[in-house]
Structure 1
């Protein structure tokens, strides 16, 4: 036995079970015993969650570097009803370039076995089948890599490490013209420009919406400026036409804005550093010196390009004349709060469009299943939607109408707005004059955007890999109303005092960063607000006593925690520092025999 090996808690990993079966394995079904001898990282994710998409990107380098010892397994654990559909998971795995096995767990069986409470969560299992660490949130790839290297050395010495090819089997590519297109733009020529997201390209289509005129981008994931054959993108999404006949592109996974010269096909980077913005970094300044975070859509409004910054739940703006970027609305807290821009909360804003009269900026706030808008003074309003955990397909008065994870908005000539209601596979319409929501079309497949062409509306059917032209109907299609709440099982808690403990342990070789004051922050709120009698608000202590209202039977606790740690090496004059942040929405049900303590894990536990 190697006495120098680090000691860790010996907790046997529960079996991996999921009714949907395995993807990216060539049809083979796996158990943990099949993976014995390998280091396993379970990535609990759901494809609506932008933080989960960030983790997919963080893991790519780790996955490649340790491919012969490490197996990453995505455990898809749905939030929205649509995400429990097997074909939707199949589509998402291809859409986001997932190159490891994925277990489809629509009933959250494995999620419950591992006591997971938040998307994303990473669990590390050693070659002997024991859980050795758990991390909630994003930004943990550096800590996991150190742990993987320790496990490699420890189990190589013990003879329990098995090297070799992993279980990943790549699916056969489909020969479609577009592959999971994201957004579309009607060009002055009458042609369409489409972000061909999964192929990392822009595609110009003829006015028929089918014939390819040209492709822009080399077709592989990367960040490079240049001509149409040499420029590189990474999952581009939103498109906005500027007055000088150039197009701004939201290059989502590159965390950048790019500019396309339509005449030459030349692509240049105009904003972003190519790195993801993290808490504590500047959020305004010279556009090329400030990092962005998953810009999903763009719109040209009031002389600036507004950015749906999905990765940090904010709106930003790029000023082409000044060459600067700045935050225009949102606090980075995830939720639905209206008011002045500096106080508003968003949840993955993913679609932007300017109203026909130029007075409003419409936005699709995807995770709150909401249609919202910004007025000329920068204040934020909600037209449809109630919060993070209510969604469905219901027409009628806006206050009780429901959407499901919309990604696109399109102003209509009469002042109303069409909503690409993505997870309902529908095109919806909100009329500000009447306050009514109706359904324009159904049987679309994950519509993510739409553009007007005369009396028609051309819809980006992302999961059918095409543009679909529809005649705007005189009246809405009637559909049966459906309402949903989040699928996650509620945690049973006792009424009265509840001890909330956010557990944070700095990764190995790091310590809390206290150079400039407290290095932690905890923000707590609830839905409905009456659920919390005491304990809401912000403070620096990661533990807090909450008082739950016994008159409220159930609700959701919203918890946002942050901690900063730096490398613990006195000899290093400039230690690398990391911010760990996670937002939880914990559904709770009040029962007399419920728990009185709620632990939430923010960072790794490898004691």
Structure 2
């Protein structure tokens, strides 16, 4: 989404004395002359996990052309609030672009983010050029990057069917706090887990070895179901989350 033409929004500075991964340190005022893509994320939020492959692909595609990709990790869960856990997650998820660990949420406050992920594209003069909240709009963001870099190429192909540009998705169930069991409608079910042990979701076992957001159930399309989640001693569940799915195909007798 482009900001209003009359808007002249300058990029906030990165917090001083911030801890970084994959780079010694960065200053926003030293990025003048290059576009900068900033995304706020949390490794315990499934919506953030689903955008990381696109951020990584843009970093690999456009870094040599001048794009700077910066991930700002702003925790929304206790399980993702540990600095060492963030560093481990960055390595586990294969992230190679710079990541600022916003443990005190100073960057999140300066940006005024309202959710995860929040994506901001700044032009070569550090002025806001494009913004998007939540999943999606991947092609739009990449085309905006190309516009700033004066490059034309085919955008990264959609990773999931629900990432197709312009697709309309049924609303999934709202996220639930704690170890939720009950009815839902979604394309997938995830849980924010920490500790060590094995949880059971509808009879399937999921080993918990590190804090993070774990997939419990994946459907090929939007599906109504009932979750039966068993969390043993030694494992903590902070939330159960739901991801969107495409509209199911019509029954054969309707064709």
TM-score band w.r.t. shorter chain: 0.5 to 0.7
User: What does residue 60 of structure 2 align with?
Assistant: 64
User: What does residue 335 of structure 1 align with?
Assistant: 175
User: What does residue 15 of structure 2 align with?
Assistant: 17
More helix by share: 2
Q: Which structure 2 residues correspond to residues 522-561 of structure 1 after superposition, within 5 A?
A: none
Deviation (angstroms), 1:38: 0.9
User: What does residue 43 of structure 1 align with?
Assistant: 39
Residues 153 and 419 of structure 1, relative CA distance in 2, 3 Å threshold: same
Deviation (angstroms), 1:113: 0.8
Q: How many residues align?
A: 208
Q: Does residue 1:150 correspond to 2:147, yes or no?
A: yes
- Find the residue that maps to 1:42 and give its secondary structure: strand
Higher relative contact order, structure no. (Cα contacts within 8 Å, ≥ 6 residues apart) = 2
More strand by share: 1
User: What does residue 276 of structure 1 align with?
Assistant: 160
TM-score, normalising length: structure 2: 0.66
- Find the residue that maps to 1:12 and give its secondary structure: coil
Deviation (angstroms), 1:66: 1.5
Distance 1:367 1:95 in 2: 11
Distance 1:342 1:38 in 2: 43
TM-score, normalising length: structure 1: 0.30
Q: Does residue 1:107 correspond to 2:100, yes or no?
A: no
| C-alpha RMSD of the superposition | 4.1
Q: Paired residue for 2:235, among 417, 421, 424?
A: 421
Gaps of 5+ in 2: 152-157, 217-224, 245-255
Alpha carbons 1:89, 1:104 under 8 Å: kept:
yes
1:220-260 CA distances to partner (integer Å, 9 max, x unpaired)? Answer: xxxxxxxxxxxxxxxxxxxxxxxxxxxxxxxxxxxxxxxxx
- Find the residue that maps to 1:44 and give its secondary structure: strand
- Find the residue that maps to 2:162 and give its secondary structure: coil
Distance 1:107 1:141 in 2: 29
Deviation (angstroms), 1:18: 6.3
Distance 1:333 1:61 in 2: 30
Distance 2:213 2:150 in 1: 45
Deviation (angstroms), 1:277: 3.5
Deviation (angstroms), 1:362: 5.8
Alpha carbons 1:76, 1:104 under 8 Å: kept:
yes
Residues 275 and 151 of structure 1, relative CA distance in 2, 3 Å threshold: closer
1:346-389 CA distances to partner (integer Å, 9 max, x unpaired)? Answer: 544887648xxxxx6266799899x9xxxxxx7444666xxxxx
Distance 2:213 2:146 in 1: 39
Residues 352 and 13 of structure 1, relative CA distance in 2, 3 Å threshold: same
Distance 2:69 2:163 in 1: 27
1:168-216 CA distances to partner (integer Å, 9 max, x unpaired)? Answer: xxxxxxxxxxxxxxxxxxxxxxxxxxxxxxxxxxxxxxxxxxxxxxxxx
User: What does residue 117 of structure 2 align with?
Assistant: 120
Alpha carbons 1:22, 1:102 under 8 Å: kept:
yes
Alpha carbons 1:18, 1:104 under 8 Å: kept:
no
Deviation (angstroms), 1:124: 0.8
- Find the residue that maps to 1:33 and give its secondary structure: helix
